[in-house]
Structure 1
Amino acid sequence: MTSFGITNAPAPARLTVGIVSGGRVGTALGEALERVGHVVASCSAVSAASVARVGTRLPDTDILPVPEVAARSELLILAVPDDQLADLVYGLAATHAVKPGTIVVHTSGANGIGILAPLSDLGALALAVHPAMTFTGHAEDTARLSSACFGITAADDVGYAIAQALVLEIGGEPVRVREENRKLYHAALAHGSNHLVTLVVDAVEALRASLEGDELLGQQLIDGDPGGVAERVLQPLLSAALDNALRRGPSALTGPVARGDAGAVATHLQVLTQLDPELAAGYHAMSLRSAQRVGAPIELFEILADMKGERRE
C-alpha cells in the first residue's frame, strides 16, 4: 500500500448515499457529494427546519425513517450530535438495518471508529470523517467544505484510502487522527473556534460601550445589532491578528502583556470590571495565559494575582 499523499488516493465509485439526519452538517455533506456525482437517495428529517433544509439543499432526496435510509445506502452518513451517536448506532445494529459492506461514516469530532463497533461487527466498514468547519445551515457551508480539513480515522489502510478519497473528491484535505487522539483533536478545535467567538463578542461589547453616544455626523448609531461600527473597527485588527498567529505562532503576540506593561493591564481590568465583571474575568484569564506564553516579567504576574485576590508563589 502506498503512503497516503494527496495524489495517491483512488477515486471512489459512485455511491448511493443516505444521511442521518438533515441537519446543517448532513445537508452540506450531501450537497457536496452530489456535486461530484454521488446520489443522495434518502435522508431522515424530523423537525420542520430539517425538512425544509433537505427540501432546499437536496430537493431530489427522499425523506424517510432512519431504518429505511440505512437499508437503501451504500454510504451511510451519521451526522447527528455527539450525544446522540451511540444510541443511534446501537439502534441500527439491533434492527440489522445496515447491510454488510455498507460504508458507515460518522461526522463526530470527539469520536473515532470505536463507537461504530456494533455496526462493524455486522460487516459494515466504519469511518470517522469530521469536517473541521463551523456550519450555519446556509449555502456557504457547502462551498466552505472545499477549503476545509477533515479529521479521518479508520481501522486499516483500506479504510483510510476510502476516507481520503471521499474527502479529496469534495475538495477537502484529509488529516489522519489516531483513534486515541480524537478527544484531544476535538478539544483543540473547540478551544480555538468556540472560544474565539466568545472572545470576539466580548471585545465587541466593550468597544460598543466605549463608542456609544459619540457617533460622527451621519454615522450609523452604535447599537446591539451585529455588523455595526464596532465590528468594522475590529474586523481588520482581528483578521490580521489571526493571520499573524497562524503564520508566526506566539511571536505574533503584541500589546501590553507582550510588553510587560503591568500598569496598562491593571487599568484594563479595572475598566472592564466596571462594565461587566464576567467579561473582565475572561480578559484576566487570557492575560494570564498570554503572560505565560511570552514569559512576562514578575510584576505582571503579581498584578494579575492581586486583581484576582491571589498571590503568585
Structure 2
Amino acid sequence: MNAQQPPSDGAAAAPARAEDRPARLSVGVVGAGRVGPVLAAALRLAGHRPVAASGVSDASRRRVAELLPDIPLVSPDEVLARADLVLLTVPDDALPDLVAGLARTGAVRPGQLLVHTSGRFGARVLDPALRAGALPLALHPAMTFTGTAVDIQRLAGCSFGVTAPEELRLAAQALVIEMGGEPEWVAEEKRPLYHAALALGANHLVTLVNQAMDLLRVSGVQAPDRMLGPLLGAALDNALRSGDAALTGPVARGDAGTVAAHVTELREHAPQTVAGYLAMARATADRALAGGLLKPELAEDLLDVLAGGASGDGGRDGRRADEGNGGEGNGPGGTGPDGPRDEGEGPA
C-alpha cells in the first residue's frame, strides 16, 4: 500500500516503512566519495529523501548507483537547486574554494542546510554560504569509510564531531542521531587538534598494521592477518580500558638489548620502517616513564639505543635480545621480571 493512500475501511493499517514515510528534507550530495552517499543513504532510512548527487569519477558513479539508486548525477549547483539539505563531502583542501564558488554564483538558497563532513574545519569555513542565508553545520563522523553499504551499519553508535552555531545545535544533534550516531561537540578553534588526534589514531594505525604484516611475511609467517588480529584487538581493547597501564613490550620493560636487535633487523630487512619504529619507541618510552612502568635506571640504556639507532650505529653495538633481559619475555609483550605482564595491570 502506498503511504499516500489511506487503508480502506475496516482494514488494519500496516506499519509504515522508512521509505514510505513522507520525507522531511530533500537531500543532495556534492562530492560522491566514500562518505557522502553513505550518509545520504542513512538519512533516507530516517525518512529523508535523497534527490541528487554530483560526482565525475567512475567510482563515484558506482557508489551512487549502489547506495542511492535512481538518484541523478548532476552538477553541484543543480544539487543545491534541488535539495533542502546539502552534504558537502569533498576533500578538506577543496572545501573552502567549493563553498566560496557556490556562494559567489548564487547557488546557495536562504534557509538551506549546508553540512560539511571535514574533520579539520568547523562551521566558519561555511561563512560565505552563511552570508547568502544558508544554515551551516560541521558534522564529522569519526569513522573510516569503505563507500559501501557496510558503512551504514557502522554508523550505529559512531561519534560525530559537531560544530554549529548555538541556534542550530538542536538541528545538528537531530541529524546525527537520525544517522545512528552520537554527537560530540567540538569548539571551532579546536577542530584541527581534534582531527589530528583521529588521524594519529586511525590513519597511522593502518600504516603500522600493514608494516607489521609485511615484516611478518618476510619472517616466514604464512597468515600475518590471522596472527595479528587477536593481538591487536586485545591491545586496542586494553588501551581503551586502561590507558598507559596497558603498555607492554620491550620498550615498556626497558629491554634495551631487544630494541637494539629490532633496529638491526629492521635496518637490514625494512630500512624504510626504522624511523617510524624509533619515533614510536621514544614516544612509548616517554609515556612508560611518566606512568611509572619504565624504571629510570633502565631507561638510560634504552634511550642510548634509540639515539644510536637514529644515527645508524644501532646503539650498544646492536646487542641481540638473548644478551639482555628480554630473553625472559613470553610473546610480543613479554613477562620480564621487572616489567608489567601481558595480563595487564591497572583498571579493568
TM-score by length of 2: 0.79
The residue that corresponds to 2:307 in the other structure is: 305
Please give the alpha-carbon distance, in whole angstroms, between the structure 2 residues aligned to 1:45 and 1:272. 43
Shift in Å at residue 18 of structure 1?
A: 0.9
Aligned counterparts of 2:44 and 2:70: Cα–Cα separation in 1 = 10
Name 1:134's counterpart in structure 2.
Answer: 144
Matched residue of 2:311: which SS? coil
Using the TM superposition, give the Cα deviation of residue 45 of structure 1 relative to its aligned residue in structure 2, in angstroms. Answer: 1.8
Summarize deviations over 1:189-246 as a string: whole Å, max 9, x none: 111111111111111111111125xxxxxxxxx3xxxxxx111111100110011111
Letter in 1 for 2:229: Q
Q: Does 1:250 align with 2:244?
A: yes
Matched, 1:99 2:93: no
Instruction: Determine the C-alpha separation between the residues in 2 that align with 1:183 and 1:119.
Output: 21
Q: 1:197 aligns with which of 180, 185, 206?
A: 206
2:44 counterpart of 1:25: no
Partners of 1:45 and 1:211 in 2: CA distance = 44
Q: Structure 1: which amino acid aligns with 2:273?
A: L
Equivalent position of 1:271 in the other structure: 265
Deviation at 1:62, TM superposition (A): 2.0
- Three-state SS of the structure 2 residue aligned to 1:99 is coil
Deviations 1:81-119 (A, max 9, x none): 111111111111011111100111000000011110000
Structure 1: stretches of 5+ with no match in the other structure: 1-12, 213-221, 223-228
| Partner-residue secondary structure (3-state), 1:232 | helix
Larger radius of gyration: 2
- Counterpart of 2:83? 73
SS in 2 for 1:240: helix
Residue 260, structure 1, aligned to residue 269, structure 2: no
2:231 alignment partner in structure 1 = 237
Q: Which residue of 2 aligns with 1:164?
A: 173
The one of 84, 96, 99 equivalent to 1:86 is 96
Which letter does structure 2 place at the counterpart of 1:46? V
| AA at the equivalent of 1:111 | F
Query: Structure 1 residue 48 and structure 2 residue 58: aligned?
Result: yes
- Find the aligned partners of 2:33 and 2:187 in 1 and give their Cα distance: 27
Q: Between Structure 1 and Structure 2, how many residues are aligned?
A: 284
Equivalent position SS for 1:175: strand
Tell me the residue number matched to 1:173. 182
1:150 to 152, 160, 177: 160
AA aligned opposite 2:266:
L
1:308 and 1:55 map into 2 onto residues whose CA distance is 50
Counterpart CA distance in 2 for 1:308 and 1:34 is 53
CA distance in 2, matches of 1:141, 1:147: 12
CA distance in 1, matches of 2:42, 2:73: 18
Q: Which aligned runs of 4 or more in structure 1 are off by greater than 4 angstroms?
A: none
Q: For residue 310 of structure 2, what is the amino acid of its counterpart?
A: K
Mapped to 2, the partners of 1:310 and 1:234 lie a distance apart of 29
Q: Distance in 2 between matches of 1:138 and 1:56?
A: 8
2:220 to 199, 211, 214: 211
2:32 alignment partner, SS class? coil
Question: RMSD across aligned C-alpha pairs, in angstroms?
Answer: 1.6
Q: Report the CA distance between 1:310 and its aligned residue.
A: 9.0
Q: Percent identity?
A: 53
So what's the TM-score if we normalise by structure 1?
Answer: 0.88
